[in-house]
Amino acid sequence: MKKLSIIGFILCSTLVFANQKHQNQRIKAGVKSGELTKEEAQELRQDRREYREDRKEAMSDGSLSKEERQNLRQERMENSRKIHELKHNANKR
């Protein structure tokens, strides 16, 4: 049973890392294409830093509770939505 939880944790961590990497690529592509202003990109990067800090704090006891996982997932989803919204707003570049 312990092996399954370790495998689950590793798999979850890998998926979260891939998601964060993808969000970073979306921000870079948005700046390059002119869909995001530099200020918008800075705001999004700050959101990502805050997520990493929240995750580090949640993991400080060595594990994530169900509530912590849900909160972190919600934060990731909000960050993703915010990237989409800022890339598709009418701000001048």
Question: 61 lies in a domain?
Answer: yes
Helix, strand or coil, per DSSP, at residue 14: helix
Burial 15-41 (b: 16+ CB within 10 A, else e): ebeeebeebeebbeebbeeebbbeebb
Residue 9 in this model has a pLDDT that exceeds 80:
no
Question: 93 lies in a domain?
Answer: no
Residue 27 in this model has a pLDDT that exceeds 70:
yes
CA 51 vs. chain centroid, Å, equals 6
Residue 93 in this model has a pLDDT that exceeds 70:
no
pLDDT band at 91; cut points 50, 70, 90: confident
Question: 27 lies in a domain?
Answer: yes
User: Domain count of the chain?
Assistant: 1
Q: What is the pLDDT of residues 33-80, one digit of tens each?
A: 999 999 999 999 999 999 999 999 998 998 889 999 999 999 999 999
Can you state the angle between helices 2-33 and 38-58, rounded to 10 degrees?
A: 170
Question: 92 lies in a domain?
Answer: no
Predicted confidence at residue 28, as pLDDT, reads 93
Domain interval for residue 44 = 2-87
